[in-house]
Structure 1
Amino acid sequence: MKKRYAICGVSGRALGMFAKPILTTFTAGCELVGLLDRDEARFELFRTRYPEHTEVPTYGEHDFDRMVEETRPDVIIVAGRDDTHARYIIAALGKDLDVITEKPMVTTGEDARCVMEAEQASKGSVTVTFNYRYAPIHTKIKEMVLEGKLGRITSIDLNWYLDTYHGSSYFKRWNRVRELSGGLSIHKSTHHFDLVNWWIGQQPVEAFAYGALNYYGAEGEANPRKEDGRFCSTCELTQDCAYYSRWNARSQNIRVQDDHLGSLDAEKSKFPYSDYRPDQCIFDSQIDIEDTYTATVRYDGGALLSYSVNFSLPYEGYRLAINGTKGRLETTEYHMPGRTPFPTPVQTIDYFPLFGSKETIHVVHREGGHGGGDPLLLEDLFLGEDRSRPFRMLSGAVDGAYSVATGEAVWRSVKEHRPVPIEEVLGGGLRQPALSLSGKGGEGQ
């Protein structure tokens, strides 16, 4: 019997990451039975992209109960705007349904606590799609830690870089409003915090951080003119905007001056949604989040994380070092080599035993998004988790909660100029299964 899925939030991610594989690769065991969203135009986009599946029922944002009653799904996939996640996750758990949610699980520690409590009271469970765990390099790092090659983990250095193409994209969209995304220390860094938590098998206890808005917003040094309400596709200052000029040819900005109807049709084709534009000006004063962070996180097993992320750099990737009582590993990734203005090496892992010779470890790289992680994640989601692994890969509600809580602790520390305990963010008092270094003991490992 096929497992039945309904999607809440018909985003681009929902269409490409979830709807497409359900309707194609995994159709033998999966069925898409419902779509829910606030925007009718998103249903039209689904029908255009998958014309052979126009019969899939659609529902408005407040019709969750009716959708469940009429379509009888086994699993709810939550993939809409971040601030909508908690609403549908908790509603699904209240009906004893399983949930697959896009990261971040939610946008606040309070909502994370509510999800964990709802899951404890439900027959359903939550899976958070942390696809970075599935990148072969990241899986190999997990294996090395579990094998004891590093000994007891003492410190981690993780510096993440986003280039001017990817980094600026967050400031064109709804992500730039903290109320909707939780800020980038949650929306983006939740990926990174989850990786560290998973690699070392420890829970974060406290965070202290600094952060700033250095590149974007009205005070951005590259802002050609202080003026709100601009859109890249209609802005007259694009040739004076270094961010736009770097990634767009001049010919892309030619506009028909007199054919207003034609221009409107072109705009509708480029931006198919009713009230959402992903080309808002990155120098708008609406922006209320940071684009630069440095943070220190303390873990319950004694490890210390030194973390930084910058959303406006010449290239994209990260530098990682993990230190332990028996050795150290290092790796550097240059992501999106086609956007990097210099040759980039294939990513390897350098292992330095505390007393001995350096080893360089080559990993078989895979095709697919997020470092080859997406296809493997989808297999676990829709075929069942591969139990031959010595550790769990899929993430649960506890994993999602602690990654979100770390991100919130970071921006609260920036705002309040103090160390912020993770349990304070989560509300305290909720006892959860501990993360296990072996990867076999705790939920979500």
Structure 2
Amino acid sequence: MKKRYAVCGVSNRAIGMFIGPMLNTFSAHCEVVGLLDIDPRRHEVCKTKYPQLASVAEYGPDDFDRMVAETKPDAIIVTGRDDTHATYIIKALEKDLDVLTEKPMATTGADCRRIMDAEAKSKGKVTVTFNYRYAPIHTKIKEMVLEGKLGRITSIDLNWYIDTYHGSSYFKRWNRVREVSGGLSIHKSSHHFDLVNWWIGQKPVEAFAFGALNYYGPEGELNPKKESGRFCGTCEVKQDCTYYTRWSTRSKDVQIKDDHLGTVKEEQGKQAYSTYRPDACIYDEEINIEDTYSCTVRYDQGALLSYSVNFSLPYEGYRLAINGTKGRLETMEYHAPARTPFPTDVQTIDYFPLFGSKETIHVVHREGGHGGGDPVLLEDLFLGPDPARPYTILSGSEDGAYSIGTGEAVWRSVKEKRAVRIDEVLSGNLK
């Protein structure tokens, strides 16, 4: 029997990551029975792309109870704006429904606690779709740790780089407002914190951080004009904006891709998405989040993480080193070689035993988004976890909570200039 899914948040991510594969690859196992979104135009866009959904019922943001009563789903997929996640996850759990949610599971530690408390009383289960875990390089790192090649993990160095195209996109969109995204230490860095938590098999205890808004906002050094309320599409000084001219020309306006809400151009008398446009000025005074972080995280079994992320760099990728009592591994990844203005090597892992010679490990790479991780994640979601895999990889609510709790501890540490414990964040007992 097919499992019935209703989708809360008909975003680009919902359409591309879940709805399309459910209809094209997993149609023998899945059925989409309901679509819920604040903007009816998104329903229209989704059904235009997938005409087989023409008869699927549509609902507004306050119609969750009616949707469940009328469509009788087995599970809810949550893929709307980040600040809507907790509401629909909890509503679903209260009706004993399973939930698949994109990251971040919520935008605050307090909402994570509400979700875990609701799940404890429910027959439903929360799965957080951390697709970074599934990239072949990342699963190989997990296997090396489990094999004991590094011994007891003592420290991790992770430096993440977001290029000027990708980094500036967060400041054009809703992500730039902390109240709806949690800030980038949650919206983006929760991916990174989850990877480290999963790789080393330890729980974060405490974080201390520094952070700043260095590139964007009204005080950005490359701001061509201090004036809020501008949009790239109509801006009179866009040719003086380096972030704009790096990717666009006078005759070609490159639209930043928005994986979540997106936009469509007005055509044939139809209006673009009515509530949103993703080309707001990156120097707007509305921006209230940071674009640079550096932090240290302490774990319950003694490991120490040194982490940094920067959202305005010449190339995209990360550098990772994991140290243990038996050895060290190192790797570097370029996420967007097509945009990187120089040749990049295929990613490998260098393994250094504590007493021995270096070994370079090549990994078989796969097609698909997020470094080849998306297709395998979708198989686990819609076919069940791979029984041949000897370790757990799908994430639950606790995984989601620890990644968000770390991210919130980071920005609170920046704000309050003190070390912040993760249990403070997740319990709501903040000083």
Deviations 1:224-251 (A, max 9, x none): 0001111111111111000000011221
Mean CA deviation greater in 206-215 or 50-59 = 50-59
SS class of match (1:170): helix
* Shift in CA distance, 265/166, structure 1 to aligned 2, threshold 3 Å: closer
The number of equivalent residue pairs is 420
- Residue 126 (structure 1) aligns with: 126
Code of the residue aligned with 2:192 in structure 1: it is H
* Shift in CA distance, 361/304, structure 1 to aligned 2, threshold 3 Å: same
Listed as ranges, the matches of 1:61-140 within 5 Å are 61-140=61-140
- Quick one: distance in 1 between partners of 2:368 and 2:246? 26
Distance apart, 1:271 and its partner CA:
8.1
Listed as ranges, the matches of 1:15-414 within 5 Å are 15-253=15-253, 266=266, 272-414=272-414
Root mean square deviation of aligned Cα: 1.6
SS class of match (2:332): strand
- Residue 257 (structure 2) aligns with: none
* Shift in CA distance, 322/271, structure 1 to aligned 2, threshold 3 Å: farther
Q: Is the 8 A contact 1:141 1:199 kept in 2?
A: yes
- Residue 7 (structure 2) aligns with: 7
- Quick one: distance in 2 between partners of 1:265 and 1:107? 30
Mean CA deviation greater in 323-332 or 231-240 = 231-240
Code of the residue aligned with 1:217 in structure 2: it is G
Q: TM-score, normalization: structure 1?
A: 0.92
Q: TM-score, normalization: structure 2?
A: 0.95
- Quick one: distance in 1 between partners of 2:423 and 2:390? 30
Distance apart, 1:388 and its partner CA:
1.2
Moved >4 Å (runs of 4+) = 264-271
* Shift in CA distance, 208/116, structure 1 to aligned 2, threshold 3 Å: same
Q: Is the 8 A contact 2:109 2:428 kept in 1?
A: no
Code of the residue aligned with 1:186 in structure 2: it is I
- Quick one: distance in 1 between partners of 2:243 and 2:9? 30
- Quick one: distance in 1 between partners of 2:249 and 2:147? 50
SS class of match (2:107): coil
Distance apart, 1:270 and its partner CA:
11
SS class of match (1:333): strand
- Quick one: distance in 2 between partners of 1:268 and 1:340? 37
Q: Is the 8 A contact 1:109 1:426 kept in 2?
A: yes
Code of the residue aligned with 1:312 in structure 2: it is S
- Quick one: distance in 1 between partners of 2:225 and 2:421? 41
Q: Is the 8 A contact 1:208 1:418 kept in 2?
A: yes
- Quick one: distance in 2 between partners of 1:122 and 1:34? 22
- Quick one: distance in 2 between partners of 1:339 and 1:5? 36
Q: Is the 8 A contact 1:128 1:400 kept in 2?
A: yes
- Quick one: distance in 2 between partners of 1:47 and 1:266? 17
- Quick one: distance in 2 between partners of 1:388 and 1:271? 49
- Quick one: distance in 2 between partners of 1:268 and 1:274? 16
* Shift in CA distance, 265/308, structure 1 to aligned 2, threshold 3 Å: closer
- Residue 437 (structure 1) aligns with: none
Q: Is the 8 A contact 1:322 1:329 kept in 2?
A: yes
Distance apart, 1:272 and its partner CA:
2.9
Q: Is the 8 A contact 1:45 1:272 kept in 2?
A: no
Deviations 1:345-387 (A, max 9, x none): 1000000000000000000001111000001101111111112
Deviations 1:56-95 (A, max 9, x none): 1000101101100100000100000000000000000000
Distance apart, 1:269 and its partner CA:
9.1
* Shift in CA distance, 135/143, structure 1 to aligned 2, threshold 3 Å: same
- Quick one: distance in 2 between partners of 1:91 and 1:97? 9
Q: Structure 2: where are the runs of 5+ without partners?
A: 255-263
Code of the residue aligned with 1:203 in structure 2: it is K
Q: Structure 1: where are the runs of 5+ without partners?
A: 255-263, 430-445
* Shift in CA distance, 162/349, structure 1 to aligned 2, threshold 3 Å: same
Q: Is the 8 A contact 2:97 2:124 kept in 1?
A: yes
Distance apart, 1:52 and its partner CA:
2.7
* Shift in CA distance, 119/265, structure 1 to aligned 2, threshold 3 Å: closer
Distance apart, 1:46 and its partner CA:
1.0
SS class of match (1:171): helix
Code of the residue aligned with 1:113 in structure 2: it is R
SS class of match (1:382): helix
- Quick one: distance in 1 between partners of 2:3 and 2:382? 9
* Shift in CA distance, 415/269, structure 1 to aligned 2, threshold 3 Å: farther
- Quick one: distance in 1 between partners of 2:404 and 2:309? 16
Code of the residue aligned with 2:165 in structure 1: it is Y
